[in-house]
């Protein structure tokens, strides 16, 4: 495989068919990560404010988590109080809103991923310039297969993380943090494993669209392509993961500028200045976010095109030929 040809051809495709940038934006909807925040808390005895760990005793020696009884009483008082009548509907409404938005993002992300693959395939077949409706209509036939594949993989990976994480947390709490230190090598090992799985699934998604395969056949095809072309796949993966990560970081760096007026307002210790700083930060955020989203869409469209062309070059697929469903019986060239 000519690495330079793949990288340059991918750029030519998305530049001549800028409609693929839209599918890149949609694809990024299903690839974003989530984060969580937390606070700090202390386990206190009899309201004295002394931390249980300071007396040298293990608070878990009786087999119970400290503060659980008090937590239970507080929750019971909350649900029996008048506050629950106000907050419970709000919480349920927020949960439903988050669920609906998640489903929308999953749908758009799946269509975006398929559209990048199908758009690259159509462009390779000479059907340019591409239109949004053309790529969209050509992508919908693969929606459920691609959706189910990535859903199952996500559930399996999530379950595997929970299986490791929950016992790790319990062990860490029971051993006052020593157990978590022992699990650090395991979590470090999960990083390359997850990257390998990600590359295989990328190729499986491409195989499903390019060769019109079922879910299991696509996974087998993706595994075979990666196994029999380990060198080229590894090089492309490094370029996409490291290079794409650096470009993505550069794209999002301007968002840090939003924090400058906020810090200035906080340091000034003046309510009027802080209000103006927050307003300025809001305006800057509204201006920068669309630019960042657009540039991320271009990046994702390029990455999707690179993975599609990589699969096609490694498997010798001719876009002008239809590939039968029993393609797995044919050797990979």
> Whole-angstrom Cα distance, residue 31 to residue 300?
10
How much of the chain, in percent, has pLDDT values that exceed 90?
28
Q: State yes or no: pLDDT of 328 exceeds 60.
A: no
Q: Considering only 8-22, 59-73, 93-107, 221-235, which range has the smallest mean pLDDT?
A: 59-73
Average pLDDT rounded to a whole number, residues 86-107: 83
160, 164, 169, 170 alpha-carbon torsion, rounded to 10°: 110
Q: State yes or no: pLDDT of 39 exceeds 50.
A: no
* Residues 163-210 pLDDT 10s: 877 776 776 666 666 666 766 777 777 788 888 888 999 999 999 999
> Whole-angstrom Cα distance, residue 269 to residue 314?
61
* Residues 253-282 pLDDT 10s: 888 888 887 777 778 777 777 788 788 888
* Residues 230-254 pLDDT 10s: 999 999 999 988 888 899 899 988 8
Torsion sign, CA atoms 317, 117, 125, 16: negative
> Would you put residue 147 in left (φ > 0), alpha (ψ -120 to 50) or beta?
alpha
pTM: 0.72
Q: Considering only 135-139, 168-172, 325-329, which range has the smallest mean pLDDT?
A: 325-329
Q: What band does 40 get if pLDDT is binned at 50, 70 and 90? A: very low
Average pLDDT rounded to a whole number, residues 29-53: 44
> Does residue 27 contact residue 304 with C-beta atoms inside 8 Å?
yes
Please give the pLDDT value at position 84: 55
Please give the pLDDT value at position 3: 85
Check residue 42 and report its DSSP letter.
-
Q: State yes or no: pLDDT of 299 exceeds 90.
A: yes
Q: Radius of gyration of the chain from Cα atoms? A: 26
Query: What is the biggest distance separating any 2 CA atoms in the chain, rounded to whole angstroms?
Result: 78
Q: State yes or no: pLDDT of 26 exceeds 60.
A: yes
Please give the pLDDT value at position 79: 57
Residue boundaries of the structural domains of the chain:
3-25+66-329
Q: Which residue has the tokens 């947390």?
A: 169
């Amino acid at each position: 495989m000519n690495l330079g040809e793949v990288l340059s051809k991918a750029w030519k495709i998305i530049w001549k068919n800028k409609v693929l940038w839209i599918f890149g934006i949609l694809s990024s909807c299903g690839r974003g990560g989530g984060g969580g925040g937390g606070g700090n808390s202390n386990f206190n005895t009899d309201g004295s404010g002394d931390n249980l760990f300071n007396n040298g005793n293990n608070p878990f020696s009786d087999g119970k988590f400290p503060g659980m009884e008090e937590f239970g009483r507080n929750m019971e008082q909350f649900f029996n109080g008048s506050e629950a009548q106000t907050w419970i509907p709000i919480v349920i409404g927020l949960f439903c809103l988050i669920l609906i938005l998640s489903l929308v993002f999953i749908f758009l992300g799946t269509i975006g991923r398929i559209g990048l693959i199908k758009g690259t395939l159509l462009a390779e077949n000479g059907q340019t310039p591409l239109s949004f409706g053309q790529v969209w209509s050509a992508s919908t036939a693969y929606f459920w297969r691609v959706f189910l594949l990535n859903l199952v993989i996500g559930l399996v990976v999530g379950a595997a993380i929970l299986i490791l994480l929950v016992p790790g947390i319990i062990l860490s709490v029971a051993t006052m943090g020593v157990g978590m230190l022992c699990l650090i090598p395991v979590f470090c090992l999960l990083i390359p494993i997850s990257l390998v799985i990600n590359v295989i699934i990328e190729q499986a998604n491409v195989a499903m669209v390019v060769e019109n395969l079922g879910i299991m056949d696509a996974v087998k095809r993706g595994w075979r392509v990666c196994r029999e072309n380990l060198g080229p796949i590894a090089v492309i993966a490094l370029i996409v993961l490291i290079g794409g990560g650096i470009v993505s970081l550069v794209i999002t760096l301007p968002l840090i500028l939003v924090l400058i007026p906020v810090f200035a307002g906080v340091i000034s210790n003046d309510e009027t200045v802080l209000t103006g700083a927050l307003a300025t930060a809001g305006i800057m955020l509204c201006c920068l976010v669309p630019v960042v989203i657009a540039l991320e869409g271009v990046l994702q469209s390029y990455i999707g095109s690179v993975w599609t062309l990589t699969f096609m070059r490694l498997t010798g697929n001719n876009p002008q030929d239809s590939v039968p469903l029993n393609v797995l019986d044919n050797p990979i060239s």
